Structure 1
Amino acid sequence: MLKKILSITAFFSLLFTSSLLAKEEIKMLDKKQQNMITISAFTANGNLDKLKIAFNEGLDSKLTINEIKEAIAHLYAYTGFPRSLNSLNLFMKVVEERKAAGKEDILGKEASPKPENYDSIEYGKKIRAKLAGLKEDYTGAPYQVFAPVVDEYLLGHLFGDIFVRDVLTHEQRELVTISALAAMTGTQGQLNFHLKAAMNTGITKDQLNDFIKVIDTKVDSTQAKLSKETLEKVLDSK
């Protein structure tokens, strides 16, 4: 009888533990990630009034100054220098205003030196393959054949010189990227790729659904709807 009781107790203990583990697997976006979404989205769509609010909320959530600067620099490759520079100039003012008000923001780490014998093209190939979920980088795409120099820029500069900087992780960079693409029009094709890339860097399905909620409630409901449709296609293909 005692053995039976112990067996039943062990069963329910295991069931309870399994339930806790299942709950722990649900990974949502934290406050810093949510603020990185709005900073990136408003940098991309040029809404400077809301971007100023996003900067303050981001710094309040303990995003570092260097993390935000790195996100802005990263985004020039997706939004162009005009939007990136507008964002950077505004961020400088926000940092100065907060300092004058007595707020102590965290500067954060600088980028580490590039790896020894660094080759931007070869590094870029490895990173793009990783983001695409492939063992080797793809070649022969129509645009690569039509304009090889564009692919050289993508590999050497974007996936090479930008991604090699470790101020942000690759996961953070993909969150920044999908946030910008979701806020812009006509970029659903690129968003499709980068939603998959985000998952390949560790962002979960639950976090991506959470990402759509942030775009919907804080950025633009129309863009959120389009992004949700793209995300559903990506998840269906998994």
Structure 2
Amino acid sequence: MTPDASKSRPHPALMALCLSLGVMFSVTTPAAEASQTMTRTQASAETLSSQQQAIPLIAAFMATSDMPHLNAALNQGLDAGLTISETREILVQLYAYVGFPRSLNALNELMTVVQARKQRGIADAPGREPERAIPVGDDLLAAGTANQTKISGAPVKGPVFEFAPVINRFLQTHLFGDIFERDNLDWQSRELATVGALAATPGVESQLRSHMLASLRVGLSAGQLRQVTEQLKKHGDAQTAERANTALAQALAASGK
């Protein structure tokens, strides 16, 4: 990586991926739907666990290439009990939203954090690798389409997919197939990460609103998402928190909550 790689613009294909996600969620119904069981017990339906609280911060600082704050957020997450595998998976997934350069730089930062903690005598739990076999071919398309429909609340349709059908196939086979079939990170955590990254990224407000709705569909409550906005306000910048708060208000209005 070159020193200024973290400032590179995401590849056009990745921007198209993010744009298509926003369109995808905007054409579906906002029915709330749980996805996978959380791996940890939450304090209540209105409160994020300590591990969950760290995820949007990790994502937001990754998206802005703010390495000092990312370092602190990674330490916060590991201190709270995120495993190395879970933390790594968050940074891997987010390449689809903020680009490979930022993902690679953030993974390098995680390596540095883990090594420094080891030298201080902290033994972080390695966590587990995905246990479920990832399907291939037509089975991968079927699994990804089912995941996409569950998160979206309905089969995905829209003019952009008629104009460029291949982008939906990429979404179904890669994002919702290859990535969402990896069972070492639950879907609530995946959405918390996406919300954090998009909130920190100017110009993608419609996608952020869509992922607030998706967060409700995978079982996060309005109270928990309000806590996300509070965390971003407390630890991030005012613009990031304002974008998150506006998107949440719009999502709650659209979902009738």
Q: Which band: TM-score by shorter chain?
A: 0.7 to 0.9
Q: Which residue of 1 aligns with 2:205?
A: 188
Q: Which residue of 1 aligns with 2:156?
A: 138
Give the superposition deviation at 1:142: 1.9
Task: Decide whether aligned partners of structure 1 residues 95 and 78 sit closer, same or farther in structure 2, where only a CA change above 3 A counts.
Answer: same
CA–CA distance in structure 2, aligned partners of residues 212 and 157 of structure 1: 29
- Indicate the structure with greater helix content: 1
In the TM superposition, 1:114-125 aligns within 5 A as: 114=133, 119-125=139-145
Give the one of 189, 200, 218 matched to 1:201: 218
CA–CA distance in structure 2, aligned partners of residues 130 and 220 of structure 1: 33
CA–CA distance in structure 1, aligned partners of residues 254 and 229 of structure 2: 18
Task: Decide whether aligned partners of structure 1 residues 26 and 124 sit closer, same or farther in structure 2, where only a CA change above 3 A counts.
Answer: closer
In the TM superposition, 1:34-113 aligns within 5 A as: 34-113=53-132
CA–CA distance in structure 1, aligned partners of residues 161 and 191 of structure 2: 22
TM-score by length of 2: 0.79
Residue identity opposite 1:176 in structure 2: A
Give the superposition deviation at 1:26: 4.6
Q: Which residue of 2 aligns with 1:129?
A: 149
Give the superposition deviation at 1:120: 2.0
Gaps of 5+ in 1: 1-23
Gaps of 5+ in 2: 1-42
User: Is the contact between residue 39 and residue 51 of structure 1 (CA under 8 Å) also seen in structure 2?
Assistant: yes
Between the aligned residues of both structures, percent identity stands at 38
SS at match of 2:176: helix
In terms of Rg, which structure is larger? Answer: 1
TM-score by length of 1: 0.85
Give the one of 175, 189, 192 matched to 2:192: 175
User: Is the contact between residue 94 and residue 193 of structure 2 (CA under 8 Å) also seen in structure 1?
Assistant: yes
Q: Which residue of 1 aligns with 2:19?
A: none
Task: Decide whether aligned partners of structure 1 residues 173 and 43 sit closer, same or farther in structure 2, where only a CA change above 3 A counts.
Answer: same
How big is the alpha-carbon RMSD for the aligned residues of Structure 1 and Structure 2? Answer: 1.6
Q: Which residue of 1 aligns with 2:35?
A: none
Residue identity opposite 1:78 in structure 2: Y
Give the superposition deviation at 1:27: 2.0
CA–CA distance in structure 2, aligned partners of residues 32 and 189 of structure 1: 27
Give the superposition deviation at 1:145: 1.8
User: Is the contact between residue 132 and residue 193 of structure 1 (CA under 8 Å) also seen in structure 2?
Assistant: no
User: Is the contact between residue 37 and residue 211 of structure 1 (CA under 8 Å) also seen in structure 2?
Assistant: yes
After superposing on structure 2, the runs of 4+ consecutive aligned residues of structure 1 that deviate more than 4 Å are 115-118
Instruction: Name the structure, 1 or 2, with higher relative contact order (CA <8 Å, separation 6+).
Output: 2
CA–CA distance in structure 2, aligned partners of residues 116 and 163 of structure 1: 12
